[in-house]
Amino acid sequence: MEGVDTMLIIFGGLPGSGKTTIARALAQEIGAVYVRVDTVEQNIRAADVLRSEVGPAGYMVCYGVAEDNLTLGNLVVADTVNPLTITRDAWRSVAERSGTAFAEIEVICSDKTEHRRRVETRATDVPGLIKPGWDEIMARHYDDWGQRPLVIDTATESVEQSVATLISKLGLARRHQGHDA
Protein backbone atom coordinates (compact mmCIF):
# COMPACT_ATOMS: atom_id res chain seq x y z
CA MET A 1 0.00 0.00 0.00
CA GLU A 2 1.36 3.40 -0.98
CA GLY A 3 1.08 6.27 1.45
CA VAL A 4 2.51 9.57 2.58
CA ASP A 5 6.30 9.44 3.01
CA THR A 6 6.84 12.53 5.16
CA MET A 7 4.37 14.23 7.45
CA LEU A 8 4.24 15.78 10.90
CA ILE A 9 1.34 14.27 12.83
CA ILE A 10 0.64 16.62 15.73
CA PHE A 11 -1.29 15.10 18.63
CA GLY A 12 -2.90 17.10 21.41
CA GLY A 13 -5.36 16.45 24.19
CA LEU A 14 -5.74 16.47 27.92
CA PRO A 15 -3.75 13.99 30.02
CA GLY A 16 -5.63 10.72 30.39
CA SER A 17 -7.59 11.15 27.15
CA GLY A 18 -5.74 8.27 25.46
CA LYS A 19 -3.49 10.47 23.36
CA THR A 20 -0.19 8.72 24.16
CA THR A 21 -1.69 5.27 23.64
CA ILE A 22 -2.99 6.21 20.19
CA ALA A 23 0.05 8.27 19.17
CA ARG A 24 2.41 5.44 20.13
CA ALA A 25 0.28 2.80 18.36
CA LEU A 26 0.06 4.93 15.21
CA ALA A 27 3.81 5.61 15.19
CA GLN A 28 4.53 1.90 15.51
CA GLU A 29 2.00 0.96 12.82
CA ILE A 30 3.36 3.42 10.23
CA GLY A 31 7.04 3.27 11.22
CA ALA A 32 7.20 6.91 12.29
CA VAL A 33 9.63 8.66 14.59
CA TYR A 34 7.84 9.13 17.93
CA VAL A 35 8.54 12.35 19.86
CA ARG A 36 6.97 12.59 23.33
CA VAL A 37 7.22 15.74 25.40
CA ASP A 38 6.69 13.88 28.73
CA THR A 39 9.86 11.87 28.13
CA VAL A 40 11.87 14.93 27.09
CA GLU A 41 10.65 17.05 30.01
CA GLN A 42 11.32 14.34 32.58
CA ASN A 43 14.84 13.79 31.27
CA ILE A 44 15.50 17.54 31.46
CA ARG A 45 14.31 17.45 35.11
CA ALA A 46 16.48 14.38 35.80
CA ALA A 47 19.56 16.23 34.53
CA ASP A 48 19.09 18.50 37.57
CA VAL A 49 20.57 21.56 35.86
CA LEU A 50 17.55 23.86 35.88
CA ARG A 51 16.89 26.42 38.58
CA SER A 52 13.14 26.41 37.88
CA GLU A 53 10.47 24.29 36.21
CA VAL A 54 11.09 22.98 32.70
CA GLY A 55 8.71 25.52 31.14
CA PRO A 56 8.83 25.61 27.33
CA ALA A 57 12.19 23.77 27.14
CA GLY A 58 10.61 20.36 26.54
CA TYR A 59 8.49 21.62 23.67
CA MET A 60 11.49 23.46 22.16
CA VAL A 61 13.57 20.26 22.21
CA CYS A 62 10.69 18.32 20.63
CA TYR A 63 10.32 20.92 17.87
CA GLY A 64 14.02 20.56 17.03
CA VAL A 65 14.02 16.74 17.06
CA ALA A 66 10.88 16.67 14.90
CA GLU A 67 12.30 19.16 12.40
CA ASP A 68 15.55 17.22 12.08
CA ASN A 69 13.62 14.04 11.32
CA LEU A 70 11.23 15.71 8.89
CA THR A 71 14.14 17.13 6.90
CA LEU A 72 15.49 13.57 6.68
CA GLY A 73 12.20 12.52 5.09
CA ASN A 74 10.73 10.70 8.09
CA LEU A 75 7.16 10.57 9.27
CA VAL A 76 7.02 12.12 12.75
CA VAL A 77 4.35 11.64 15.42
CA ALA A 78 4.45 14.40 18.07
CA ASP A 79 2.81 13.45 21.38
CA THR A 80 2.13 16.50 23.54
CA VAL A 81 -0.81 18.00 25.43
CA ASN A 82 -0.44 20.94 23.02
CA PRO A 83 -2.86 23.05 25.06
CA LEU A 84 -2.16 26.50 23.67
CA THR A 85 -2.59 28.20 20.33
CA ILE A 86 1.07 29.26 20.50
CA THR A 87 2.29 25.65 20.77
CA ARG A 88 0.01 24.58 17.93
CA ASP A 89 1.33 27.45 15.79
CA ALA A 90 4.90 26.39 16.63
CA TRP A 91 4.24 22.81 15.52
CA ARG A 92 2.79 24.04 12.22
CA SER A 93 5.88 26.24 11.78
CA VAL A 94 8.10 23.15 12.19
CA ALA A 95 6.25 21.50 9.29
CA GLU A 96 6.37 24.65 7.17
CA ARG A 97 10.13 25.14 7.70
CA SER A 98 10.62 21.49 6.70
CA GLY A 99 8.43 21.81 3.63
CA THR A 100 6.30 19.03 5.04
CA ALA A 101 2.59 18.38 5.28
CA PHE A 102 1.07 18.22 8.75
CA ALA A 103 -2.07 16.91 10.41
CA GLU A 104 -3.47 17.99 13.75
CA ILE A 105 -5.18 15.35 15.86
CA GLU A 106 -7.06 16.21 19.04
CA VAL A 107 -7.74 13.21 21.26
CA ILE A 108 -10.67 13.52 23.64
CA CYS A 109 -12.55 11.24 25.99
CA SER A 110 -16.15 12.45 25.91
CA ASP A 111 -17.09 10.17 28.82
CA LYS A 112 -15.89 12.23 31.81
CA THR A 113 -16.38 9.33 34.24
CA GLU A 114 -14.13 7.11 32.10
CA HIS A 115 -11.62 9.91 31.62
CA ARG A 116 -11.38 10.43 35.38
CA ARG A 117 -11.03 6.67 35.98
CA ARG A 118 -8.12 6.55 33.53
CA VAL A 119 -6.40 9.50 35.18
CA GLU A 120 -6.80 8.04 38.67
CA THR A 121 -5.68 4.50 37.78
CA ARG A 122 -2.89 4.95 35.25
CA ALA A 123 0.69 4.19 36.09
CA THR A 124 3.58 6.25 34.83
CA ASP A 125 5.70 4.77 32.07
CA VAL A 126 8.41 7.45 32.29
CA PRO A 127 10.70 6.87 35.29
CA GLY A 128 10.33 9.69 37.80
CA LEU A 129 7.41 11.37 36.04
CA ILE A 130 4.60 12.41 38.35
CA LYS A 131 1.45 12.57 36.28
CA PRO A 132 -1.17 15.25 37.02
CA GLY A 133 -4.27 14.39 39.00
CA TRP A 134 -7.86 14.91 37.91
CA ASP A 135 -8.33 18.30 39.60
CA GLU A 136 -5.09 19.59 38.07
CA ILE A 137 -6.14 18.39 34.61
CA MET A 138 -9.58 19.99 34.88
CA ALA A 139 -8.04 23.31 36.04
CA ARG A 140 -5.52 23.37 33.18
CA HIS A 141 -5.81 26.13 30.59
CA TYR A 142 -6.63 24.50 27.26
CA ASP A 143 -7.41 26.65 24.22
CA ASP A 144 -10.23 25.55 21.94
CA TRP A 145 -8.95 24.08 18.66
CA GLY A 146 -11.86 25.37 16.61
CA GLN A 147 -12.72 23.36 13.51
CA ARG A 148 -9.17 22.59 12.37
CA PRO A 149 -8.16 19.26 13.95
CA LEU A 150 -9.26 15.73 13.28
CA VAL A 151 -10.93 14.64 16.55
CA ILE A 152 -10.56 11.11 17.92
CA ASP A 153 -12.91 10.24 20.79
CA THR A 154 -11.49 7.37 22.82
CA ALA A 155 -14.82 6.92 24.60
CA THR A 156 -16.34 5.68 21.34
CA GLU A 157 -13.44 4.04 19.46
CA SER A 158 -10.86 1.44 20.42
CA VAL A 159 -7.16 2.10 19.90
CA GLU A 160 -7.22 -0.14 16.83
CA GLN A 161 -10.23 1.68 15.37
CA SER A 162 -8.63 5.06 16.06
CA VAL A 163 -5.37 4.06 14.36
CA ALA A 164 -7.27 2.67 11.35
CA THR A 165 -9.27 5.91 11.11
CA LEU A 166 -6.10 8.00 11.18
CA ILE A 167 -4.30 5.84 8.60
CA SER A 168 -7.29 6.11 6.27
CA LYS A 169 -8.01 9.83 6.72
CA LEU A 170 -4.34 10.87 6.50
CA GLY A 171 -3.46 8.61 3.56
CA LEU A 172 -0.76 6.77 5.49
CA ALA A 173 0.71 3.37 4.73
CA ARG A 174 1.01 0.63 7.29
CA ARG A 175 4.54 -0.54 7.94
CA HIS A 176 3.25 -3.94 9.04
CA GLN A 177 1.37 -5.52 6.16
CA GLY A 178 -1.27 -8.08 6.99
CA HIS A 179 -2.74 -6.24 10.00
CA ASP A 180 -6.48 -5.97 10.00
CA ALA A 181 -8.08 -2.81 11.31
Q: Which residues pair with 35 in a beta bridge?
A: 78
- Provide the greatest CA pair distance for the chain: 50
- Flag whether pLDDT at 150 surpasses 80: yes
Q: How far is residue 47 CA from its own chain's centroid?
A: 24
Query: Is-contact 118 15, C-beta < 8 A?
Result: no
pTM: 0.90
**Of 31, 91, 104, 28, which Cα lies nearest the Cα of 65?**
91
* Fold classification of 7-170 (topology level): Rossmann fold (3.40.50)
Instruction: Give the per-residue pLDDT at 179.
Output: 45
CA distances from 175 to 148, 162, 167 (A): 27, 16, 11
Q: What mean pLDDT comes out for the span 58-78?
A: 96
- How many C-beta atoms surround the C-beta of residue 139 within 10 A? 10
Helix (H) / strand (E) containing 50: none
- Flag whether pLDDT at 177 surpasses 90: no
Q: How far is residue 48 CA from its own chain's centroid?
A: 25
pLDDT tens-digit profile of 26-66? 999 999 999 999 999 998 888 887 767 777 889 999 999 99
User: Which runs of E-coded beta strand occur in the chain?
Assistant: 7-12, 33-36, 76-79, 101-108, 150-153
